[in-house]
Every structure is written in C-alpha cells, then in structure tokens.
Structure 1
Amino acid sequence: MECLVSELIKDDIDIEGVSEDEIVSALEIVGRDLVYNNFIFGKDVTYKEFLERLNIYVDIIKKCKMAAHQK
C-alpha cells in the first residue's frame, strides 16, 4: 500500500497547488534542520512546531510559484 506524504499532512497544512515532490523536499529541509537542532542544542520539537516550520516552507514554495506565474 503506497501512501503519499501529502495525504498524511493535508489536514494540518494547506498544500493546495504544491506537488508531492515539493512537499518531500520541504520535509527533507525541515527534518534536517530539526535533527541538527536536536543534536547540537538538545532541543526537542513537538509535532505542532514541526508543522509550523513545514508550513513556512510550503508558503515559500507557493509564493515562488505565484511570482513565477506572474512574470
């Protein structure tokens, strides 16, 4: 059974207009940042904090796509 990442987070984050590949890329960036923060600073992160950071990256992706579309 295949499960897309977008299916797991669609209820928590507005991902309309963002491709699965873009979501996976954002997850990799956010995940790497959180892992580094945990190893270096010993900071644990809640799922809510993770979603907040992921939402920032998803919003950036949307804004970049809108800007490219307007040109």
Structure 2
Amino acid sequence: MGIVITDDSSETRIALQRLCREQLKRKLLADILADITVCKMEGWDWRAYPQEIRDMMNDILGGNQNG
C-alpha cells in the first residue's frame, strides 16, 4: 500500500511533491556518482552519462546545447 494523504490542502500536496523531487535528485546524483566511479576504474569516458542526462534535460527545456 502506498501513502495515503488525508489532508488535501494545496500546501500538503506541494510539500509532498517537493519531497519526492528532492529524493529523486539524490538518487540520480548517487547513480551518476556510481557510474563515474565505475568509468574511472575501467578507464572509460566518465563524462558520457552526465552529458546524456544534460542533453535530455536540454531537450525537455526546449534547447539543445551540445558542447
């Protein structure tokens, strides 16, 4: 069972959304850092994954600024 919200106020929904976003950003950062560590250990280009994420975000935001 998931989270049940009994307070349907706008402030509660906004606070929950912000919490979810912060948690996801921390998970994403941990994933990126783990990938960078593996890439450095293997001698691979560690910039590839962060650049792919940046490019996806630029596409979402309406501009692609590749290099």
TM-score between both structures, scaled by the size of structure 2 = 0.41
The structure showing larger relative contact order (alpha-carbon pairs under 8 Å, at least 6 residues apart) is: 1
Specify the structure having the higher radius of gyration (Cα): 2
TM-score between both structures, scaled by the size of structure 1 = 0.39
